[in-house]
Amino acid sequence: MIDCDPAILTELERTAVQAGETAAEYIRRSSDKVLEIDYKGATDLVTEVDHNSEQIITDRIRTVYPHHQILAEESGWSALKSDYLWVIDPLDGTTNFVHGYPSYAVSIGIFFQRQPVVAVIVELPAGNTYTASVGKGAFCNGQSISVSRTTEMRKSLLVTGFGYHHGRKWEKNMGLFKHLTDITQGVRRLGAAAVDLAHVASGKADGFWEYDLHPWDTAAGLLLVTEAGGCISRFDGSAYSIFDDQILASNGLLHNILQEELERENQVNSRFGDG
């Protein structure tokens, strides 16, 4: 059991919600403006909005918790050392945002002694605020949420994502995408992992898998899914860390089946290399 005072958790969540919703409101106001765009890579867009959203969040954290450590997508690790770590994605789904595609989010996960204790995901442009504190369940806009009760693959809806680098894992994931599309009601690719995980937590999707995510992509979704009654692991069922290169999330009821399907299909496509 994580030894973190409930009163401290409540205040941490309050601060994270304030920071996330303030950043989300800034992003919402910015959505109709002309954006100055840089390029991290050929198709990996990063805008001034990412940087400004991150600044809003980190400024709020440092005002309330000046000694906490921060890991943020745009600025990386802070120099401070602390039992508390805030992991921030100021705008997950930047490419969607730039193109006006309605699937992006602000994601904030808080860890205490390396364990997730608070999660906040603000889904945009819908404006849904997903929250979770360890041991207290998961919520959307203050209403309790839970994972789906789907028990059969043929009745399930899954989500996944693809990285920008079209290497061996990308090829393997294309094989998984095709296979799982054949045996489920469908697989969706929204382009924002935080949203994908929020949709698993709230029962909109039954499972999610992906390669090559970053810590800030899953730091909040990890706790949100488990507090909603779901399960998260690596593809082989072993314990998941936000620093891992693969993630499998589900409603729990389908987890073993999904593991078997991923492992079986990866063996079939082993010519693409290790994942």
List the CATH number of the domain containing 108. Answer: 3.30.540.10
Closest residue by Cα to residue 246 from 183, 153, 170: 170
When pLDDT is averaged across residues 22-47 and rounded to a whole number, the result is: 77
3 state DSSP class of 150: coil
Burial letters 169-188, b for 16+ CB under 10 A, else e: beebbeebbebbeeebeebb
3 state DSSP class of 194: helix
Q: Is position 183 within any domain?
A: yes
pLDDT at residue 20 tops 50: yes
Q: Is position 114 within any domain?
A: yes
When pLDDT is averaged across residues 21-34 and rounded to a whole number, the result is: 89
DSSP 224-256: HHHHTT-EEE-TTSPPP-TTSSEEEEE-STTHH
Kind and range of the H or E run holding 29: helix 6-30
Q: Is position 1 within any domain?
A: no
Q: Is position 101 within any domain?
A: yes
pLDDT at residue 80 tops 90: no
pLDDT of 272: 46
pLDDT at residue 186 tops 90: yes
Q: Is position 63 within any domain?
A: yes
Residue 73, phi then psi, degrees to nearest 5: -60, -45
Peptide bond into 116 cis (omega under 30): no
Residue 121, phi then psi, degrees to nearest 5: -130, 125
Closest residue by Cα to residue 16 from 79, 70, 52: 70
**Final residue of a domain: which of 145, 177, 209?**
145
Do residue 253 and residue 135 come from a single domain?
Answer: no
Do residue 165 and residue 258 come from a single domain?
Answer: yes
The model's pTM: 0.93
**Final residue of a domain: which of 90, 111, 145?**
145
| pLDDT tens-place string over residues 38-77 | 666 555 667 899 999 999 999 999 999 999 999 998 888 9
Domain count, the chain: 2
| pLDDT tens-place string over residues 197-210 | 999 999 999 999 99
Hey, what are 81's tokens?
């050392």
Hey, what are 162's tokens?
């693809």
Do residue 95 and residue 179 come from a single domain?
Answer: no
Domain that includes residue 85, residue range: 6-145
Give the CA-trace dihedral at 243, 248, 116, 253, to 10 degrees.
-160
pLDDT of 19: 98
Q: Could you give the percent of the chain with pLDDT greater than 90?
A: 75
3 state DSSP class of 137: coil
Q: How confident is the model at residue 248 (pLDDT cuts 50, 70, 90)?
A: very high
pLDDT of 35: 66
Do residue 111 and residue 176 come from a single domain?
Answer: no
pLDDT of 274: 46
Do residue 119 and residue 181 come from a single domain?
Answer: no
Least confident span in 47-51, 108-112, 134-138: 47-51
pLDDT of 44: 63
Q: Could you tell me which residues come within 8 angstroms of residue 171 by beta carbon, excluding any fewer than 6 positions away?
A: 269, 272
Helices (H), 65-211: 94-99, 168-183, 193-201
Cα 156 → chain centroid: 20
pLDDT at residue 166 tops 80: no
Q: How far is CA 99 from CA 21, 45, 76, 96, 103, in A?
A: 22, 10, 26, 5, 10
Q: Is position 41 within any domain?
A: yes
For residue 115, what are the β-bridge partners?
Answer: 112
Closest residue by Cα to residue 230 from 208, 211, 214: 208
Least confident span in 6-15, 24-33, 35-44, 144-153: 35-44
